[in-house]
């Protein structure tokens, strides 16, 4: 099947992408690793010994970064609907984040302990319908925020990918009700044309 102009452009951009080459060189599974590394450099989110929940983790580059930074004393708990090959120091559950049974299985891994940080680079399968995709994206973000409310310790932080558009301001308002401070981040590894933005909830209210 012939490629469309837009898929050709994406492929060309991907092949020439500095972060793609860097990820291959550094052993990360995806260029997204550099988004987390840049945000972490600025905000000092991940420290040795922390417990970190990674929602929407596959292919695993954020889990790789988190596992390196928490070290042997810390733990990373990853969840995704897709398969994710093993990463040392990461406990992984494969399942649909929207299903109660999967969330219960994931929560059981924590064994009643609250985590220090929740990170979420999740995105829905893109249908091509902007309104539907935006709604699906914010539904997943809502679930991630709900998870953070339930499983993040007081004073803990929450980093989530959102897409600017319908629902964005309402979601920020919800985050402000849960966290002392809400910051927006657009790392250099985010493509300029993308409407993606990372919201950082600092210090969950007690």
Reply yes or no: is the peptide bond before residue 59 cis, omega within 30 of 0.
Answer: yes
Q: Which residues of 61-95 are buried (b: 16+ CB within 10 A; e: fewer)?
A: bbbbbbbbbbeeebbbbbbbeeebeebeebebbee
116 is in an annotated binding site: no
Ligand-binding site membership of 80 (annotated): yes
Could you tell me if residue 159 is inside a domain? yes
For residue 74, what pLDDT is reported?
97
Q: Which residue has the tokens 């919800």?
A: 174
17-21, 34-38, 73-77, range with the lowest pLDDT = 17-21
pLDDT at residue 17 tops 70 = yes
Task: Please indicate whether residue 190 or residue 114 has the higher confidence score (pLDDT).
Answer: 114
CATH number for the domain that contains residue 160: 3.40.50.150
DSSP annotation of 2 reads P
On whether 62 is known to bind a ligand per the annotation, the reply is yes
What is the domain extent for residue 184? Answer: 30-204
Number of domains, the chain = 1
Q: Is residue 136 part of a domain?
A: yes
Q: 21 lies in a domain? A: no
Per-residue confidence (pLDDT) for residue 41, from 0 to 100: 97
156 annotated to bind ligand: no
71: left (phi over 0), alpha (psi -120 to 50) or beta: left
Would residue 9 count as lying in a domain? no
Say which residues have a Cβ less than 8 Å from residue 119's Cβ, sequence separation at least 6.
36, 45, 52, 53, 54, 55, 62, 66, 158, 159, 160
Instruction: Give Dmax over CA atoms of the chain in angstroms.
Output: 55
1 located within any domain: no
Task: Read off the pLDDT of residues 40-77 as tens digits, 9 standing for 90 and up.
Answer: 999 999 999 999 999 999 999 999 999 999 999 999 99
Helices and strands, counts by H and E, the chain:
7, 7
Tell me how far apart the terminal alpha carbons of the chain are, to the nearest angstrom.
Answer: 55
pLDDT, tens digit, 9 for 90 and up, residues 118-131:
999 988 777 778 88
Asked whether the predicted pLDDT for residue 6 surpasses 80, the reply is no
Give per-residue pLDDT as tens, 84-113: 999 999 999 999 989 999 999 999 999 999
Residue 191 has a pLDDT of 80
DSSP-derived pairing of the beta strands 152-163 and 196-204: antiparallel
165: pLDDT strictly greater than 60: yes
Report, as an integer, the average pLDDT of 158-172.
93
Query: What residues are labeled active site?
Result: 161
In a domain, 19, yes or no: no
* Residue 13 domain flag: no
């Amino acid at each position: 099947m012939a490629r469309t102009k837009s898929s050709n452009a994406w492929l060309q951009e991907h092949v020439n992408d500095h972060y793609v080459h860097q990820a291959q060189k550094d052993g990360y599974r995806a260029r997204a690793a550099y988004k987390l590394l840049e945000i972490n450099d600025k905000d000092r989110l991940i420290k040795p010994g922390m417990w970190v929940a990674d929602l929407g983790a596959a292919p695993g580059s954020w889990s790789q970064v988190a596992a390196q930074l928490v070290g042997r004393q810390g733990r990373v708990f990853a969840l995704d609907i897709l398969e994710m090959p093993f990463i040392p120091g990461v406990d992984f559950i494969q399942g649909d984040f929207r299903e109660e049974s999967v969330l219960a299985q994931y929560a059981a891994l924590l064994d009643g302990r609250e985590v220090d940080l929740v990170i979420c680079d999740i995105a829905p399968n893109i249908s091509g319908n902007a309104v539907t995709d935006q709604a699906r994206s914010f539904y997943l973000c809502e679930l991630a925020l709900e998870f953070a409310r339930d499983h993040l310790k007081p004073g803990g932080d929450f980093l989530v990918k959102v897409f600017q558009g319908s629902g964005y301001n309402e979601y920020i308002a919800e985050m402000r009700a849960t966290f002392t401070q809400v910051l927006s981040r657009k790392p250099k590894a985010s493509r300029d044309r993308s409407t993606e933005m990372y919201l950082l909830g600092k210090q969950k209210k007690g």
